[in-house]
Amino acid sequence: MADRLFALFALIAGGIYTYVAFFIIKAPFQYDPLGPETWPQVLAVVFLLCSLYVLVRPDHIQFALGRSVWLRLLMLVVMLGGYAELYEPLGFVISTALFCCLLSVMLGANRLHSVAFGCATGIIGYGICDYLLGLNLPEGLLAPFL
């Protein structure tokens, strides 16, 4: 069932890809016999054939996850999205501390440990990356102090 559903999605996405390959991509002028559209056309055909095969002969796959697992994954994705969104505005130290703290709480750490863990990761991580390795990380709110 999960496989069929996926194959259906793949057919739709592959269909769009194919349409673009055959009708949209055009070079204004070209010297070579193969233009920018040929290669995507070849791939599109291979991909559609594979999707059709999976649709007709799907594997039996257990995709069923408990509700708590779905919830946990949803929260993870939300946290990751928030982390990405706040990465530049808040800066590495604060956003990392927040993210690590929240995620470790969700995964079962107690509050005190998770706060300590979050702050330590943010500060030590910045120290190692910025001062020791010379990597470029966002300073954000703490810019005046770093």
| Residues in contact with other proteins, shown as a per-residue x/- string from 30 to 69 under the rule CB under 8 A | xxxxxxx-xxx--xx-xx--xx-xx----x-x-x-x---x
- The single residue among 83, 119, 123, 142 that binds other proteins, judged by CB under 8 A, is 83
For residue 117, state whether it binds other proteins (rule: CB under 8 A): yes
CA-wise closest residue to 72 among 33, 97, 102:
102
For residue 124, state whether it binds other proteins (rule: CB under 8 A): no
Residues 27, 38: contact at Cβ < 8 Å? no
For residue 20, state whether it binds other proteins (rule: CB under 8 A): yes
57 Cα distance to chain centroid: 29
Q: How far is the CB of 112 from other proteins (least distance, A)?
A: 13
- The single residue among 23, 67, 112, 134 that binds other proteins, judged by CB under 8 A, is 134
Q: Which two tokens stand for residue 84?
A: 């990405």
Transcribe 13-62 into DSSP letters.
Answer: HHHHHHHIIIII---SS-SSSS-TTHHHHHHHHHHHHHHHHHHHS-----
Please give the DSSP secondary-structure letter assigned to residue 131.
I
Looking at residue 122, its amino acid is G
Residues that bind other proteins (CB under 8 A): 2-3, 6, 10, 17, 20, 25-28, 30-36, 38-40, 43-44, 46-47, 50-51, 53-54, 59, 61, 63, 65, 69, 72-73, 76-77, 80-81, 83-84, 87-88, 92, 96, 99-100, 103-104, 107-109, 114, 117-118, 121, 125, 129, 133-138
